[in-house]
């Protein structure tokens, strides 16, 4: 266990924290999200979910969306299916990924999640998962109000709570929170989603993608048990 020694000679346990900066437009981020949620009861660490706008990070860092790189797009169409099997996440390929990512964009679902983070943070995990199911399992339009509402209902939000969230989506406080988290991720060095930032008492450590968990576990002093730590025979 990591300890921080005070100048008086006393020691206290250093709080370990992981921040997941994520946009549900990213399918690989779904894998990372589910793994972190599975490890909440296995790792002695606080996990904080922080919705960000991937388009804002891409623009600010000059990154190129994967779909605009032909070989990368072709690779992803195959890798996503085998990765979904490895992580045990029910992902399906969407019919028109270009329209989803490059045309529709994720600003509305990002504001939806941000409003939930502000108003009903205990539902953020459930709504995030439900939205990933809508878009990356059912190939639904995650910019449609009825799809956002259905995800909220799936996660247990009441009609009154959903109305509050929908009203909050257009308020400045929600836009500012989304921008703050996006800028925060960029300051940490983010260039895409998922961006994972670990804090153990020293300098924050950034990890990108859904395949860095063995290294993350090593750096935070926790044990990696594979993508399904509760499975009878975890895949390491």
Question: Tens digits of per-residue pLDDT, 113-172?
Answer: 999 999 999 999 999 999 999 999 999 999 999 999 999 999 999 999 999 999 999 999
Whether the pLDDT of residue 9 is over 60: the answer is no
- The pTM for the full model equals 0.91
Q: How high is the pLDDT of residue 6?
A: 30
Q: Which residue in the block uniquely carries the two structure tokens 């085998």?
A: 82
- Specify whether the CB–CB gap between 51 and 22 falls below 8 A: yes
Mean pLDDT taken over the chain = 92
Average pLDDT value for residue range 195-223: 97
Domains defined along the chain, listed by start:
12-220 (3.40.30.10)
Q: How high is the pLDDT of residue 8?
A: 33
């Amino acid at each position: 266990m990591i300890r921080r020694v005070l100048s008086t000679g006393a020691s206290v346990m250093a709080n370990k924290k992981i921040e997941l900066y994520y946009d549900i437009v990213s399918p690989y981020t779904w894998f990372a999200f589910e793994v972190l949620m599975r490890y909440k009861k296995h790792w002695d660490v606080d996990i904080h979910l922080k919705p960000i706008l991937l388009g804002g990070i891409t623009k600010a860092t000059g990154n190129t969306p994967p779909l605009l790189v032909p070989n990368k797009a072709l690779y992803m169409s195959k890798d996503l299916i085998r990765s979904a099997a490895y992580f045990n996440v029910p992902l399906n390929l969407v019919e028109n990924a270009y329209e989803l990512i490059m045309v529709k964009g994720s600003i509305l679902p990002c504001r939806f999640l941000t409003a939930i983070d502000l108003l009903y943070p205990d539902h953020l995990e459930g709504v995030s998962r439900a939205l990933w199911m809508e878009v990356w399992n059912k190939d639904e339009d995650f910019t449609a109000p009825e799809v956002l509402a259905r995800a909220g209902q799936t996660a247990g939000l009441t009609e009154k709570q959903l109305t509050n969230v929908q009203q909050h989506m257009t308020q400045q406080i929600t836009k500012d929170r989304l921008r703050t988290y996006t800028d925060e991720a960029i300051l940490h060095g983010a260039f895409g989603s998922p961006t994972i930032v670990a804090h153990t008492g020293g300098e924050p450590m950034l990890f990108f993608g859904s395949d860095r968990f063995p290294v993350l576990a090593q750096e935070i002093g926790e044990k990696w048990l594979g993508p399904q730590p509760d499975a009878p025979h975890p895949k390491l």
